[in-house]
């Protein structure tokens, strides 16, 4: 059983425990649920936002990425909840865990982790790949 966070109307949210999204929507649409839980008489537009809780492996993957990130951070749970607001967070998480970012500036100019997440900076930053001297050892001036 999973916990789903569902948006209805414009500003109202509710969390429902169900086996699937379809079952969660069915529970929300029942009159008894609306009267008791929501205190509403009519639920118009339903929008499933996200599954609320990531599993243990996903939490561990995010913690690995967070540990390697050089900028300022808030708490693990706060950053993880912020990250799971993105619709494609499950596809992006393995990329972030493997990502090795080399910032070419001082630590004070590295964006906060919340900014990195909110602005989807992982799409703009390239992974650091080991550089090989394309001209051969005879042109490696630092080795001499």
Which of 123, 118, 75, 133 has the alpha carbon at shortest distance from 99? 123
Percent of the chain with pLDDT over 90: 7
**Cβ-contact 43, 31 below 8 angstroms:** no
Give, rounded to a whole angstrom, the gap between the first and last alpha carbons of the chain.
Answer: 64
Average pLDDT over residues 16-37: 70
Give tens-digit pLDDT for 73-87.
888 888 998 898 888
**Structure tokens given for 36:** 């008791």
Give pTM, 2 decimals: 0.54
pLDDT of residue 41: 42
**Range from 12-21, 25-34, 109-118 carrying the lowest mean pLDDT:** 25-34
What residue has token string 């790949």?
A: 129
Q: What region, left, alpha or beta, does residue 39 occupy, with left being phi > 0 and alpha being psi -120 to 50 degrees?
A: left
8-state DSSP, 84: T
Give tens-digit pLDDT for 40-69.
444 445 555 545 578 889 999 999 999 988
């Amino acid at each position: 059983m999973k916990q789903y966070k569902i948006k209805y109307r414009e500003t109202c949210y509710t969390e429902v425990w169900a086996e699937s999204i379809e079952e969660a929507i069915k529970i929300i649409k029942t009159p008894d649920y609306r009267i008791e839980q929501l205190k509403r008489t009519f639920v118009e537009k339903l929008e499933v936002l996200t599954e609320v809780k990531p599993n243990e492996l996903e939490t561990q993957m995010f913690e690995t990425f967070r540990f390697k990130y050089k900028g300022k951070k808030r708490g693990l749970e706060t950053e993880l909840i912020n990250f799971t607001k993105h619709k494609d967070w499950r596809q992006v998480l393995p990329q972030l865990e493997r990502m090795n970012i080399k910032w070419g500036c001082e630590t004070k100019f590295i964006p906060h982790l919340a900014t990195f997440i909110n602005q989807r900076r992982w799409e703009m930053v390239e992974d650091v790949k080991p550089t090989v001297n394309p001209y051969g050892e005879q042109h490696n001036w630092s080795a001499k």
